[in-house]
Amino acid sequence: MRKRLFEIIETSQGNDILSSFYDYMMIAVIITSLVPLAFKQTTPIFVVIEKVTVFIFIVDYLLRLLTADYKLKKGWLSFILYPFTIMALIDLLCILPSFTSLAPGFKLFKVLRLLRAFRVLRAAKMLRYSKSVLLITDVMKEQKSPLIAVCVLAISYILISALVIFNVEPDTFGNFFDAIYWATVSLTTVGYGDIYPVSEAGRVITMISSFFGIAVIALPAGIITAGFMDKLHEKQEEEGNPKGEKNDKK
């Protein structure tokens, strides 16, 4: 019974109708729960949405806790470790703020109003149910080393650019954080224009920073794209439908 529950609540692999239905239902519930966050006013329908969706989230959390040993495969220790996993913490943080709505008269729960901002984490819950997002997550894990190298390169470039511009134009940048902010904006070629150098030397540094920023920003996009294409090719081969067969048919 518990094993079947685990198979249903886990992401469907495509051959389990109940599991696929559960995935789509949870995505719909998550999206619905986000609707009230787009409005400042609280209406009766929003209150109903909040209570119904948080009830479903609680049931989902309890079911996952109940079947944690099948997920972590560590016996009884799984029930202790599961609440501290990343997705379990996200689930819990999505549930806790809603207790102020479910029990507004309980003064202890009013402290949880500080956590209401965590309701936006409900969007992160879709990571568990979206196959496309899970595919991208796998790509990120496999390409972890080159992505970390690119991040180190970007951070180093930002710090060096900030140090240079901070010393070239100390009057324009009030503190080092302003210089880091400018370097980040220049690196990403966003250019908000709220902080900018005014001297000739500062403008030259900005042009160089923006020029190299294009290359640095393009690197992770290329790495992720290449990894994504490799992953898609692997999945096609696993399903017995490699690209070569398609080309032969043509």
In the chain the domains, ranked by start, together with CATH numbers, are 2-129 (1.20.120), 142-249 (1.10.287.70)
Question: Which tens digits make up the pLDDT trace of 202-213?
Answer: 888 888 888 887
194 against 60, higher pLDDT: 60
Q: What is the pLDDT of residues 113-126, one digit of tens each?
A: 455 556 666 677 76
pLDDT higher for 75 or 215?
75
pLDDT at res. 247: 47
Alpha helices in the chain (DSSP H): 2-9, 17-34, 44-66, 68-72, 77-81, 86-95, 99-102, 107-110, 131-142, 144-168, 176-187, 200-238, 243-249
Q: What is the pLDDT of residue 79?
A: 92
Task: Name the residue among 8, 84, 98, 92 with its Cα closest to residue 54.
Answer: 98
Structure-token pair, residue 205: 């540094």
- Please name which of 49, 123, 65 lies closest in space to residue 93, comparing C-alpha atoms: 123
- Inform me whether the pLDDT recorded for 13 exceeds 70: no
Work out the average pLDDT over 8-36.
83
Q: What is the predicted pLDDT for the residue at 20?
A: 85
pLDDT at 50: 86
Burial 93-103 (b: 16+ CB within 10 A, else e): bbbbbbbbbee
Give which of 132, 135, 121 is closest to 89, Cα–Cα: 121
What's residue 62's pLDDT?
93
What's the token pair of residue 188? Answer: 């990403």
Confidence band for 197, pLDDT divided at 50, 70 and 90: confident
For 78-135, the pLDDT digits (tens) are 999 999 988 888 888 878 777 655 555 545 544 544 555 566 666 777 666 666 666 7
